[in-house]
Amino acid sequence: MASNGTAPGSKLVKWIDHRLPIFTFMRHETHEYPTPRNLSYWWNFGSLAGIVLVIMIATGLVLAMQYAPHKDLAFDSVERIMRDVNGGWLLRYIHMNGASFFFIVVYIHIFRGLYYGSYKPPREILWLLGVLILLLMMGTAFMGYVLPWGQMSLWGATVITNLFSAIPLVGESIVEWLWGGFSVDNPTLNRFFVFHFLLPFVIVAVVFLHLWALHRFGSNNPLGIDAKGPQDKIPFHPYYTVKDAFGLGVFLIVFAAVVSFAPNFMGHPDNYIPANPLVTPPHIVPEWYFLPFYAMLRAVDFDIAIPFTGIVIIEAKLGGVLVMFGSIALLALLPWLDRSPVRSGRFRPVFKWFFWVFALDCVILGYCGSQPAEGGWIVAAQIATLWYFLHFLAILPLLSILERPKPLPASIGEPVLKGGGTLAGAAAKPMEKA
């Protein structure tokens, strides 16, 4: 698989490649690209996410040709797509469920990174770009959900945009500026459509940077140790192209089953009621992928005041917003909170447990977010939110100091080639910088 610097191919390819070495580049980055030989199926989700992004853009572009971003037309135009446009129902259901599957895939991808320490040096920027992609995805999905202009579109948008009014002094003006008026109305729908159209292409650009950063040091792996030499790596093609293709097949089966047999399962039925500013739905719930964050937002139902003076420093609403955005900020700071030199959770006996507790905590938060904000659910959400923050701010930093990791294998190739199991003669040693 040695590269001689130029791509093979016809004369024309060579002519172009000499002037713009794009074929060499492609070959180098997608063909020869050396990859750890021991990646598990958890490493399939990155390429899957990329494919879902392409699916979203492709279906979105075609939907946009029939969709009318006006409050009097939007709902009916989506129904027209569902009923009268050839294959429109398929496009719309793929796009609608594709958003949910995008988040399923990306959340698994993120938790993979959390478990195997993929955010640690030298991959911090790679990780930061990932968090940025998550934020952009959230913005895109939120604005996309507004477009069909059903009851949840309108009221979800109202609740979320209203959050900005919590900002002291300028909050109200910011909200009016976002709305383009005095409530979520036609100008809001219009600009959301514009941004919903634009942001996915911004995501593509950030994904490109994400991959660039990835290819600088290559993939992490289930052992979390660096490759010791060429025997630890295999070319991306054909090994991982075929493995990713197989994973894609499995993914598409599940995706096709949901789109064909339960396309409205993950959506909220209220969104089949046209938006009505005069009728507030009894429970306003965001899409499932926002629920953990929604729970944290609502968990702060108290003002923070200076004791005994009654002087409020942070009002409950602002507190909730800070906590919600803080939860993502912590994700971004993770490389500097977890200082343990060992990447993979496999060799971190205590961390491993806390990882699963944290995953459970996120599920609990999601469930709390789906329930009405009253009584026990608020308390549960408060405890779970507290745990979320403790995990990042206390547990991970402490574990970095207190935990005694298990001995690391000497190389990737060793356990793999010897059939796994024994880590003969490997002594505990800190991870080295690549």
Please state the φ and ψ torsions of residue 106, each to the nearest 5 degrees. -70, -35
Question: Which residue among 17, 226, 232, 244 is the active-site one?
Answer: 244
- Span between the terminal Cα atoms of the chain, in Å: 23
Q: Report the distance separating Cα 208 and Cα 133, nearest Å.
A: 11
Partner touching 99 among ligand HEM, another protein, none, CB below 5 to 8 Å by kind: ligand HEM
Please state the φ and ψ torsions of residue 205, each to the nearest 5 degrees. -65, -40
Smallest distance from ligand HEM to CB 290, Å:
11
Angle at 157 between CA 156 and CA 160, to 5 degrees: 85
Find the DSSP H helices in 236-340: 236-261, 291-299, 316-337
Length of the chain: 434
> What DSSP element (H or E) covers 265?
none
Nearest to 49 by CA among 210, 276, 270: 210
Question: Which residue among 100, 219, 344, 411 is the active-site one?
Answer: 219
Q: Report the distance separating Cα 194 and Cα 61, nearest Å.
A: 12
Asked if 49 is part of the footprint of ligand HEM (rule: CB under 6 A), the reply reads no
Asked if 256 is part of the footprint of another protein (rule: CB under 8 A), the reply reads yes
Token pair in block for residue 38? 């021991």
Smallest distance from another protein to CB 316, Å:
24
Q: Does the active-site annotation cover 370?
A: no
Token pair in block for residue 195? 């941004």
> How many CA within 13 A on the CB side of residue 3?
16
Q: Does the active-site annotation cover 403?
A: no
Find the DSSP H helices in 70-219: 74-83, 88-116, 124-146, 151-162, 171-179, 186-217
119-148 positions binding ligand HEM, by CB under 6 A? 137, 140-141, 144-145, 147-148
257-276 positions binding ligand HEM, by CB under 6 A? 267, 271
Stretch that binds ligand HEM, among 36-44, 125-133, 192-200, 350-358 (CB under 6 A): 192-200
Asked if 203 is part of the footprint of ligand HEM (rule: CB under 6 A), the reply reads yes
Asked if 63 is part of the footprint of ligand HEM (rule: CB under 6 A), the reply reads yes
Q: Does the active-site annotation cover 29?
A: no
Asked if 44 is part of the footprint of another protein (rule: CB under 8 A), the reply reads yes
Angle at 38 between CA 36 and CA 44, to 5 degrees: 85
Out of 112, 120, 196, 343, point to the residue binding ligand HEM (CB under 6 A).
196
Out of 71, 92, 123, 343, point to the residue binding ligand HEM (CB under 6 A).
92
Smallest distance from ligand HEM to CB 84, Å:
14
Using CA atoms, how far residue 30 sits from 38, 42, 123, 233, 235, in Å, is: 18, 19, 20, 14, 9
Q: Does the active-site annotation cover 215?
A: yes
Asked if 93 is part of the footprint of ligand HEM (rule: CB under 6 A), the reply reads no
Asked if 56 is part of the footprint of ligand HEM (rule: CB under 6 A), the reply reads yes
Tell me the site size for another protein, rule CB under 8 A: 55
Asked if 272 is part of the footprint of another protein (rule: CB under 8 A), the reply reads yes
Contacts of 215 (CB under 8 A, 6+ apart): 29, 33
Q: Map tokens 């259901």 to a residue.
A: 93
Binding site for another protein (CB under 8 A): 37, 40-42, 44, 76, 79, 82-83, 89-90, 93, 100, 104, 107-108, 234, 238-239, 242-243, 245-247, 249-250, 252-254, 256-261, 263-270, 272-273, 281-283, 285, 288, 291, 363, 366-367, 370
Binding site for ligand HEM (CB under 6 A): 53, 56-57, 60-61, 63-64, 67, 78, 92, 95-96, 99, 102, 137, 140-141, 144-145, 147-148, 196-197, 200, 203, 267, 271
Give catalytic residues, as residue numbers: 215, 219, 243-244, 287
